[in-house]
Chains A and B, each alone.
Chain A
Amino acid sequence: MYVYLYDNFLNHKKYAAILKSIEIRLTDYGIAGKILHLNNYIDVKPIIDDEIKRGAKTVVIVGNDRTIGHVLSRGATCDCVFGFLPIGQDENSMAEVLGIPIGVDSSDILARRRRQKLDAGWFNNRYFISQLHVLPAKVRVIYDDKFQVTTPFKTEVVVCNFQPFYWKKSKKDKEIRVVHPQDGKLEAFLRPLTKSGWWSYKYEEPSIFPFEEMEIIGDSPFVVEADGKTTKEVRIKIKLARNKIDMIVGKNRKF
């Protein structure tokens, strides 16, 4: 049985047509199911657990990167297969990584059920699957309890699981550079912010450290964004949770 978790933003009128088309396609495939509407304050884990008790085998996330982050941050441990139907062109970079086309065609990928176990990142009691971003702050980073990395500048830290790391040297830099993460490890990108002002900023080339466990310690609270959710922390511990998520992916996935 399939359960569909619709994000809150899909209530907007402009998504009505696309949702209708998807629902028709799913019905054609015979994989239609119960629809639940999420909002920002719902913890999805008990909801998914309830549905699993009622016989749900596949939970399909309908929305964008934020939705997938919101659902899997808590629901990654649930014993079910996850699917994803990306809607809308904004904030849908995860769809490309997973090889799922945006819109109605994503139903075909769902019906095909090409499954793969995905690694997840774990930090401070929740999971992230795309990336974790620490905004520039005075931090030191300890890797695998073995070595410590420091810089004399404020440093931006980006931990990538599946989402590639896109970066440019400065505000005027037109070339956007990409580093694709490899599977089986998390990649941490550290970029010291060498110059910042109202009108410009300049980052140093990023340092790259593949790791399985790392700790970021700040002199003062720093801002952490993980899968679209922002918190303030003083100390975070990040780990790799191998093969945590059973997910339906497309043939053209990036890993």
Chain B
Amino acid sequence: MIFQRSASKNIVEETVVDTTDEKKPVSEVNDNVDTVVGPSVNVEGDFSSEGNIIVKGTVTGSLHTSKSVTVETGAKIFANVRAGSAHISGEVRGNMKIKDFLELSPSARIVGDIEAKTVTMEAGALLLGKVSMPGLETNDGRTAGRVGGRVKKSDEAATVTL
């Protein structure tokens, strides 16, 4: 069936206009979707993402993001971690290089060296490894390799195993 063109052509010419659509502002676009590794999920390999990463399962290999990494209680990471910031409640076996701040909650278990601008460690968190933070230098020009003055201790005494 073919339609007949109606007499109301004038109305149509007003209505049918090719408009290149105005783009919605970036803030309105839904960017809430993080990368989430579920509790029984194993990730193996070079795991990298551009957004936030939430780990509830196991990651083996390496983990990299420019934004934040959250390792939840029960999660296990057997990998070197590079991230913008990190909040650790689970177990990490590997070196961590954090650009901004690292937060260790009471259930955190870290085996490996840490490099971070700011470290917050709550009572109960366990750490086995070297902690280095930019800002302090030894006499021979190397960055300090111990827990420095920037570690924010909570009201209770922080437990640091070195």
On whether the beta carbons of B41 and A149 are closer than 8 Å, the reply is: yes
Residues in A whose Cβ lies below 8 Å from that of B47: 146-147
Q: Return the contact of A194 from the options B6, B30, B40, B44 (Cβ within 8 A).
A: B40
Q: Per a CB cutoff under 8 Å, which of B1, B11, B37 touches A207?
A: B37
B2 lies within 8 A of chain A by Cβ: yes
Q: Which of B1-23 contact A (CB under 8 A)?
A: 1-6, 8-9, 11-12, 15-21
Please tell me if the beta carbons of B51 and A146 are within 8 angstroms of each other in the complex: no
* Bound form: Cα–Cα A209–B2 in Å: 47
Question: Is B159 part of the binding interface, using a Cβ–Cβ cutoff of 8 Å?
Answer: no
Query: Taking the nearest CB of chain A, how far is it from the CB of B133, in angstroms?
Result: 30
Identify B4's interface contact among A27, A180, A206, CB under 8 A: A27
CA distance A189 to B37 in the complex (A): 10
Return chain B residues, CB-CB under 8 Å to A115.
18-21
Does B157 touch A at the CB level, under 8 Å? no
The verdict on A32 contacting B3 (CB below 8 Å), with A182-B29, A210-B49 known, is yes
Given A33-B3, A151-B40, A207-B36, 15 other A-B contacts at CB below 8 A? A26-B3, A30-B8, A31-B12, A32-B3, A112-B19, A148-B44, A149-B42, A180-B32, A182-B31, A204-B38, A205-B39, A207-B57, A210-B51, A249-B21, A255-B29
Q: Does A242 touch B at the CB level, under 8 Å?
A: no
Count the A residues whose beta carbon is within 8 Å of the partner chain — how many? 44
Q: A27 vs B44: C-alpha distance in the bound complex, in angstroms?
A: 58
Chain A residues, CB < 8 A from B19? 112-115
B141 at the A interface (CB under 8 A): no
Mark interface residues in A26-39 (1 if CB within 8 Å of B CB, else 0): 11111111110000
Q: By the criterion CB–CB under 8 Å, are A113 and B12 in contact?
A: no
Query: Are B8 and A28 closer than 8 Å at their CB atoms?
Result: yes
Q: Counting CB contacts under 8 A, is A111 at the interface?
A: yes
Residue B137 interfacial (CB < 8 Å): no
Q: Chain B 136-158 against A: per-residue CB contact (8 Å), 1 yes, 0 no?
A: 00000000000000000000000
Which residues of A1-49 are within 8 A (CB) of B? 23, 26-35
* A255 cross-chain contacts in B, Cβ below 8 A: 29-30
Interface size, chain B (Cβ < 8 Å) = 43
Our pick among A149, A180, A204 for the contact of B30 (Cβ within 8 Å) is A180
Task: For A37, give the chain B residue with the smallest CB separation.
Answer: B1
The answer, among B15, B29, B36, B49, for a CB contact under 8 Å with A111, is B15
By the criterion CB–CB under 8 Å, are B46 and A146 in contact? yes
Given contacts A182-B33, A205-B38, contact A146 B12 (CB under 8 A): no
The proximity string for A residues 130-143 relative to B, scoring 1 for CB distances below 8 Å and 0 otherwise, is 00000000000000
Q: Which residues of the partner chain B approach A201 to less than 8 Å between Cβ atoms?
A: none
Q: Is the CB of A207 within 8 A of B38?
A: yes
Contact, CB under 8 Å: A148 / B45: yes
- Residues of chain A with a CB closer than 8 A to B123's CB: none
Q: Does B43 contact A (CB under 8 A)?
A: yes
- 174-196 of chain A: CB within 8 A of chain B: 179-183, 187, 190-192, 194
- Can you spell out 29 A-B residue pairs with CB atoms less than 8 angstroms apart? A26-B3, A27-B6, A28-B11, A29-B15, A30-B9, A30-B16, A32-B2, A32-B3, A35-B1, A35-B2, A112-B19, A114-B21, A115-B19, A115-B21, A116-B21, A146-B47, A148-B44, A148-B45, A149-B37, A149-B42, A151-B40, A153-B40, A192-B38, A194-B40, A204-B40, A205-B36, A206-B36, A207-B41, A210-B51
